[in-house]
Amino acid sequence: MKIAVTGATGFIGSRLVERLQTEGHSVVVLTRNADRAKSLFPVSKYPNVEVVAYQPLQSGTWQQLISGCDGVVNLAGAPIAESRWTPERKQEIMDSRKAGTEKIVEAIAQANPRPSVLVNSSAIGYYGTSETATFDEASPAGNDYLAEVCQAWEAAAQKVEESGTRLVILRTGIVLGQGGAIAKMLLPFRMFAGGPIGNGRQWFSWIHLEDMVNLILKALTQPEMSGTYNATAPNPVRMAELSQSLGDAMKRPSWLPVPNFALELMLGDAAKVVLEGQQVLPKRTQESGFAYQYTTVKQALTDVVRED
């Protein structure tokens, strides 16, 4: 296959490109930073990867490269929880997903031949937050800012179906691997100062990086997959259990909670990403026959720590 990937230099995207290369597929990496992408994917190691500079919010000649691709994986989006949600930052988060996806859909509509499938990222923030409710793919959207972003993101992607292209939307939980959210928790645990974030009762719906990539590959190759799937493991946990499992895997105590106010001082409204959560179950994902490699957080974190 020939696959175009946005967000390819990120945590999930870089592993996806590596897997596609290993399995003999051709990859078109669409990136805002071509120099960085070329350093990540050197020709000597990635002979089937073509790096193309693009402006994700603008139409351009890059869109012509979608023609002839078998599929597109759209993972691009500004980081959610790395800085305070100023009005400008919130607009950037929204535009990077909604407008960026609109340009991908525009490119697919113009392509000849068109890709047969678009795998578009979304997030479990679609459902809003709750300490008591359980969500699956049929659950309604929440009414907070992240739910608004996810709804706009998905609505932009759904327009690709007007071109006859199959659409798979993956509502992604917290991805566990060498990077992402867990990377920020490893240092305090190494210093014997790790512990749960906030009150520890918030739900943590997660998926191991390898399962995330395997799910994307399944979505690309299985024509019966269509619509929305939760990219989460079947056993979500509360933050306290996650922290205890991480401490056990690292042979460190989990005793020093990170108080709510400390994160709120640093991140403002963006702190809700880690201080609030949702219990999300991958009902349709399991019904599709997807086989998880990592079904428990203990199993997943033991693997992550072993690689560290």
Residue 161: inside a domain: yes
Whether the pLDDT of residue 271 is over 70: the answer is no
Residue 67: inside a domain: yes
Question: Which pLDDT does position 262 carry in this prediction?
Answer: 53
Task: Report the C-alpha gap between 84 and 31 in whole angstroms.
Answer: 25
Residue 43: inside a domain: yes
Instruction: Give the residue-averaged pLDDT of 24-37.
Output: 96
Residue 148: inside a domain: yes
Of the pLDDT bands very low, low, confident and very high (cuts 50, 70, 90), residue 273 is low
Q: Between 218 and 197, where is the model more confident?
A: 218
Of the pLDDT bands very low, low, confident and very high (cuts 50, 70, 90), residue 186 is confident
Residue 139: inside a domain: yes
| pLDDT tens digits along 39-69 | 999 999 999 999 999 999 999 999 999 999 9
Q: Which structure tokens are listed for 55? A: 């402006």
Query: Of 2, 51, 58, which is closest to residue 30 (Cα–Cα)?
Result: 51
Query: Of 186, 300, 168, 201, which is closest to residue 254 (Cα–Cα)?
Result: 186
Residue 247: inside a domain: no
Task: Report the C-alpha gap between 217 and 248 in whole angstroms.
Answer: 32
Give the Cα-Cα-Cα angle 272, 88, 148 (nearest 5 degrees): 50
Secondary structure (3-state) at 168: strand
Task: Report the C-alpha gap between 182 and 150 in whole angstroms.
Answer: 23
DSSP letter, residue 285 = H
Residue 254: inside a domain: no
Q: Name the residue range of residue 221's domain.
A: 2-173+208-232
| pLDDT tens digits along 217-263 | 999 999 999 999 999 999 999 988 888 888 888 888 876 666 655 55
Please report the beta strands in 173-269, taking only residues with DSSP state E, as ranges in sequence order.
174-176, 203-204, 206-208, 227-231, 237-238
Of the chain, the percentage scoring pLDDT greater than 70 comes to 92
Other beta carbons within 10 angstroms of residue 52's beta carbon come to 14
Residue 307: inside a domain: no
Q: Any idea what the CATH number is for the domain that residue 74 is in? A: 3.40.50.720
Q: What is the pTM of this model?
A: 0.92
The two most distant CA atoms of the chain are separated, in Å, by 58
Whether the pLDDT of residue 13 is over 80: the answer is yes
Cβ–Cβ < 8 Å for 271, 128? no
For the chain, how many structural domains are there in total?
1
